Amino acid sequence: MSELVPGGNVPLPGGTLTIRVPGPFDVSALITDDSGKVRGDGDFVFYNQPTAPGARLVAEHLTIDPSALRAGASRVTVVISPADPGTPLGRLPTPTLHLAGPGGRTVARFTPPRPQRETVLLLAEIYRRGTTWKLRALGQGYADGLAGIARDFGVDVAADDATPVAAPDPDGFLDLVNSVRTAAGSPPVSLDARLAAAARAHASDMAARRLLSSESANGISVYQRVTSAGYAYLTVGEHLVSGPRTPAEFVEYCLSTEQSRLTLYEPAYRQAGLAYVADHRSGDMYWTALWARPFSADGLARTANEVVALTNAERAAGGLPPLAVDPLLTAAAQAHSADMVTRAFYSHTSPDGSRPWDRAAAAGSTRRTIGENIACGQRSPTEVVRGWMNSPGHRANILKPAFTHIGIGLAGGGKAGTYWTQLFGG
């Protein structure tokens, strides 16, 4: 029996393999080819879709018969997440993968380094090398839940024109909201069940604590609840309120201040979720409304291009030439934004010590001069560029004559909502 460390691998016997991860975890699997992408949603095995050719999930046992996998399959990635959605893996016992061969004999065992704020973990992969199948230990975590894995593996996620997951309408809330949005010239929103589930979890936490807060007692932000519910977003906003007794009173309250009205009217939002929970001791109502535009690759590109356009408008006002988009700088910027979400940090220096020029070089860039702006929490390109221009150091990067190229990255799901990166090169 082999005890593996991250990156370690071991050859596997022929026949059906059984994987078990004891504890308060949900096990799932992604079946991919050499590209590392699934062919369709049928390649994702989880509790609501427990079978695929060559793979079967029963309770905590995942069985894999490599010879029976669909044509072209060369890898099965084993994924775990907390059985209680939204709970960081760091609050649970460290997971241990046990892999047994056809006779029940344990072939390998792997315990990754203890996760911290991650809510999903790529634990290991079974992969084909020539005619041999092997197990490789991984231990890669995601702080943005299954949504992050879906993006990386090509599982279909909500697009701007996707049909939303149906959600119940609490007491005519949707009609009330869309009436005031229409009057303000904003498009209507639809209700989404994932946003509603995240809203209910957050409202329940606030009611239990008798406290309006964007974070729970254990430090989980309302934005992390959204991605843990399986909703990947381009932009997100929220109303956290106590006092109103009905949805009509809640909407009236949201119209009472300028900032709250701007959130209600925001034209970028396409979907919403609402929940309200009473504190059984006082009878006070605690409300959470979530507003979002779902993630799509096209939407990501449009948002990044808008940041570039606004940046170049500031340069033009200063008599400077525009910056050209550089794909390598874009890749490095997007990776840094995603890394800040995944590893729950906010800094120009990554936890592994890499800095902007290191990340640019790792992406293949050979530009001699590198600069970086980062930001978190802003909900639109206009807001983030305005914030950078109001900060002397960030403004200096935007208006630096030596810079000729730019890359933009943004990722949602961390404690602050959305994490933005501008990477400059010259």
Give this prediction's pTM: 0.63
Instruction: Tell me the residue type at 110.
Output: F
Q: Is 57 exposed, middle or buried (0-12, 13-18, 19+ CB in 10 A)?
A: buried
374 has which bridge partners? 421
In this structure, which amino acid lies at residue 266? E
Name 373's bridge partners.
Answer: 422
pLDDT in tens for each of the 426 residues of the chain?
A: 889 988 899 999 999 999 999 988 889 999 998 888 888 777 888 776 788 899 998 877 899 999 999 989 999 999 998 877 667 788 888 899 999 999 889 999 999 988 877 788 899 999 999 889 999 999 888 766 666 676 677 765 444 444 444 555 777 899 999 999 999 999 999 999 889 989 999 999 999 999 999 998 888 899 988 987 888 899 999 999 999 999 999 999 999 999 999 999 999 999 999 999 988 888 899 999 999 999 888 889 999 999 999 999 999 999 999 999 999 999 999 999 988 987 889 999 999 899 999 999 998 999 999 999 999 999 999 999 999 999 999 999 999 999 999 999 999 888 899 999 999 999
Parallel/antiparallel/unpaired status of strands 120-129 and 44-45: unpaired
Which runs of E-coded beta strand occur in 185-270? 190-191, 233-242
Euclidean distance between the first and final Cα of the chain, in Å?
53
Sheet holding 9-11, edge to edge: 9-11, 132-142, 120-129, 75-82, 25-32, 44-45
Pair 399, 419: CB distance under 8 Å: no
- The enclosing H or E element of 291 equals strand 285-294
Pairing of strands 106-110, 2-4: parallel
Q: How far apart are CA 95 and CA 339, in angstroms?
A: 22
Question: Residues 256-265, buried b or exposed e (16+ Cβ, 10 A)?
Answer: eeeeeeebbb
| Contact present, 426 and 368 (Cβ < 8 Å) | yes
- CB burial of residue 347 (10 Å; 0-12, 13-18, 19+): exposed
Q: Which of 179, 225, 229, 186 is nearest to 206 (CA)?
A: 225
